[in-house]
Amino acid sequence: MSEKNTPRTIRPAEGKLGVLLVGCGAITTTVIAGLDAIKKGRTKPFGSFTQMGTVRIGKRTEHKSPVVKNFVPLANLNDIEIGAWDIFPDDGYTAAKKAGVLSDTDLTAARPVLEKMKPMRGVFEQKWVKKLDGTYIKTAKTKREYADQLAEDIKTFQKERGVSRTVVVWCASTETFAQKSDVHSSLKNFEKGLEENHPDIAPSMIYAYAAIKLGIPFANGAPGLTVDTKALQELAHEHRVPLCGKDFKTGQTLMKTMIAPGLRARLLGLSGWFSTNILGNRDGEVLDDPGSFKTKEESKLSVLDTILQPELNPDLYGNIFHKVRINYYPPRGDAKEGWDNIDIFGWMGYPMQIKVDFLCRDSILAAPLVLDLALLLDLAKRADLRGTQEWLSFFFKSPMTAEGLYPEHNLFIQEMKLKNTLRYLMGEEQITHLGIEYYEDK
């Protein structure tokens, strides 16, 4: 056990917390319906780290493991107000019906709250999401004007809903693949690019800029570049804003970050890992475009290298064939299927195989992540944390890190980092799991 530290000063969670979601599709409507069901006792917050997870405090012999929401000062679920932007005009109920995630029973129960969700017009540029044709969009002469309009949306939402704090979470589609360019290298260049409609500034970056400029935390739930640039990091430090991303860890990649650490721990070799997905929701349609798929592929492919670290053990992991495929298949809807064939080898090089067929529901896995990230980013803001929050890597496929650091993808290391950060904030001892003190002579 390590020494206790001084608790970090955390401002209280007073008043309402506004949660603004970019995109009013499958994930957002599932979040809204689920929150309504939890508040009214129709279900429990399954899958939510903040609502059902626990944090051990002190030694095992002390038997102290409070629920996260009772350990750190989080906003109460009854104090959350949700708003959204979208590029289609459907209210939440209509959007939820089209998404096909929820049963008729759950849709009917949540209908009153879903119908109240009227999205604000979104910022859209066809080249970034080629498979969609937004009809409910803002118009402006420059990207700076778009950012100003989004800022006004946020201020109006805050005033009308009476919220004292706000968080923005990107829940919209995957944008086409983009690499960092000079416009992303500094805040000065980025703001000049907004004025000049620079083609390398994506809509997600405009949302992020508008939020950060107002001192509002931003989480990127898609694999795009978005806030992972020097320009927006600079803005975040200037306005004391916490950021995190990217790409919600759901489905197939969730399985990889569970299985791959086990293979490495047992020193089982890996020859190949073939992954394919079929899904038929809007996300599947968007990813049918090669540019958007490239963005997602980069996120998915990076996982194994950083978990297995082939440079440290080339005999086991130095010659892996890793292939990822995503196939748009409309009949499947939101009920995605992720199939993995894993070729491994063990003692004396004898080959073995693992087959995984994960029939999951993408939005059901993502919804509790959105809730947790909103609550934890609000906590980070009140604790005066700023810039990249690597301790929130647990929730992402492609976690953001400080420049020069490789991301930690191992789910179990991520969980330890997450819980130790909460202990740190509350002035509790870090837990190393050494445990030798239970056995050594006193």
Question: Tell me, what's the pLDDT at 300?
Answer: 64
Question: Tell me, what's the pLDDT at 292?
Answer: 66
Residue 341 has pLDDT above 80, yes or no: yes
Rg (CA), the chain: 22
Residue 4 has pLDDT above 80, yes or no: no
| Cβ burial, residue 357 (10 Å; 0-12/13-18/19+) | exposed
- The mean pLDDT value for 374-393 works out to 98
pLDDT digits 0-9 by tens, 89-122: 999 999 999 999 999 999 999 999 999 999 999 9
Question: Tell me, what's the pLDDT at 296?
Answer: 61
First to last CA, the chain: 15
pLDDT digits 0-9 by tens, 353-366: 999 999 999 999 99
DSSP 80: E
Question: Tell me, what's the pLDDT at 212?
Answer: 98
pLDDT digits 0-9 by tens, 163-179: 999 999 999 998 999 99
Region of poorest pLDDT, from 184-198, 228-242, 280-294, 426-440: 280-294
d(CA 300, CA 279): 16
pTM of the model: 0.94
Measured N-to-C along each axis, helices 187-195 and 230-238 cross at an angle, to the nearest 10 degrees, of 110
Question: Tell me, what's the pLDDT at 338?
Answer: 92
Higher pLDDT, 173 or 123: 123
Residue 327 has pLDDT above 60, yes or no: yes
Question: Tell me, what's the pLDDT at 279?
Answer: 84
Band of residue 437 on the pLDDT scale cut at 50, 70, 90: confident
d(CA 270, CA 304): 10
Tokens linked to 254: 């969730």
**Most distant CA pair in the chain, distance:** 74
> What DSSP letter does each residue of 312-373 carry, written as one string?
T-HHHHTT-EEEEEEEE-GGGTT--EEEEEEEEE-GGG-EEEEEEEEE--HHHHHHHHHHHH
- The mean pLDDT value for 328-343 works out to 90
d(CA 69, CA 180): 38
Q: Percent of the chain having pLDDT more than 90?
A: 83
What are the Cα distances from residue 3, in Å, to 137, 141, 202?
54, 56, 45
**What average pLDDT does the structure give for the chain?**
94
Band of residue 298 on the pLDDT scale cut at 50, 70, 90: low
d(CA 386, CA 175): 25
- The mean pLDDT value for 372-393 works out to 98
pLDDT digits 0-9 by tens, 176-194: 999 999 999 999 999 999 9
Q: Is the peptide bond before 130 cis (omega within 30 degrees of 0)?
A: no
- The mean pLDDT value for 305-329 works out to 93
Question: Tell me, what's the pLDDT at 299?
Answer: 59
